[in-house]
């Protein structure tokens, strides 16, 4: 078993909510609050939104991040407790995730490059449905999709917007990505596809002047895009810590059985 001293320097970050700020004060008094650059581990206090924000901020640091639920949605968080935190951190298990890399080219030729931990999504910007062409690994797979949009989700993000769009839930270690339409009009019965996580996904916007489309990587948006490229970025590995028995793998599995 890993010795608790492995995580002697803890950095706490918290959402602005009163509940999270109270937890920040309590934990800082009990364990100190190291600078994130010098810390052995970062503990995020809030909901899933704060966890995504923290993962983005420390994406290239290789520091483990442990979330405790002090917000609304807490799918990516552990239960909150201020007791014996260092021992709890030492017993936690690693889940390694890789973000998506989005390269979106807009109508002016400007290229927008962002990372996404949950999903890259394309949305119609006006009342008219988007008209899209889908290319996988340089082979056209769908010449025309008319829909409100489409998204590419990671296993970690498969229980988020992807699930709301009727996409599949992916086990966290599955070497897959979910390609899920958003309110498809034509072909109406197309429910999406499972892709290997090595896939190079290209989505071209057809009739972009008439049917403008925005591309969003988690919370970063590019508008009036003409071409969006998506690939899993294996050069970045992020470490999330979960209590034994409450791993992300277990949460994703449990979600499929409705509890």
Q: How far is residue 82's CA from residue 18's CA, in Å, rounded to a whole number?
A: 16
| Token representation of residue 160 | 């988020």
Is residue 163 a known part of a binding site?
yes
Is residue 235 a known part of a binding site?
no
Is residue 161 a known part of a binding site?
yes
Residue 212's φ and ψ, nearest 5 degrees, are -65, 150
Q: How far is residue 159's CA from residue 13's CA, in Å, rounded to a whole number?
A: 24
Q: How far is residue 194's CA from residue 79's CA, in Å, rounded to a whole number?
A: 32
Is residue 11 a known part of a binding site?
no
Is residue 49 a known part of a binding site?
yes
| Token representation of residue 255 | 């979600």
Is residue 215 a known part of a binding site?
no
| 48 part of the active site | yes
Cβ proximity of 62 and 240 under 8 Å: no
Catalytic site residue from 35, 38, 40, 48: 48
Is residue 159 a known part of a binding site?
yes
Is residue 160 a known part of a binding site?
yes
| Catalytic residue numbers, as ranges | 48
Binding-site residues for NAD(+) sit at 48-49, 118-119, 148, 156, 159-164
């Amino acid at each position: 078993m890993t010795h608790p001293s492995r995580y002697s320097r803890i950095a706490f970050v918290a959402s602005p909510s009163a509940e999270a700020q109270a937890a920040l004060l309590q934990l800082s008094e009990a364990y100190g609050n190291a600078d994130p650059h010098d810390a052995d581990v970062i503990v995020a206090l809030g909901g899933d939104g704060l966890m995504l924000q923290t993962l983005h901020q420390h994406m290239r640091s290789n520091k483990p991040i442990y979330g405790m639920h002090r917000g609304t949605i807490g799918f990516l968080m552990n239960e909150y407790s201020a007791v014996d935190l260092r021992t709890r951190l030492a017993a936690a298990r690693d889940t390694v995730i890789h973000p998506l890399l989005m390269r979106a080219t807009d109508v002016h030729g400007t290229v927008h490059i962002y990372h996404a931990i949950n999903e890259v999504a394309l949305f119609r910007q006006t009342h008219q449905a988007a008209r899209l062409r889908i290319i996988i690994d340089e082979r056209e797979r769908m010449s025309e999709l008319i829909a409100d949009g489409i998204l590419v989700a990671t296993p970690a993000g498969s229980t988020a917007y992807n699930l709301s769009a009727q996409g599949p839930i992916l086990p966290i270690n599955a070497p897959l990505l979910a390609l899920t339409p958003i309110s498809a009009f034509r072909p109406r019965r197309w429910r999406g596809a499972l892709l290997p996580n090595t896939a190079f996904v290209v989505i071209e916007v057809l009739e972009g002047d008439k049917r403008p489309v925005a591309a969003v990587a988690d919370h970063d948006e590019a508008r009036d895009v003409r071409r969006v490229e998506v690939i899993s970025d294996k050069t970045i590995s992020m470490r999330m810590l979960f209590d034994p028995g409450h791993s992300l793998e277990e949460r994703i599995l449990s979600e499929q059985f409705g509890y």
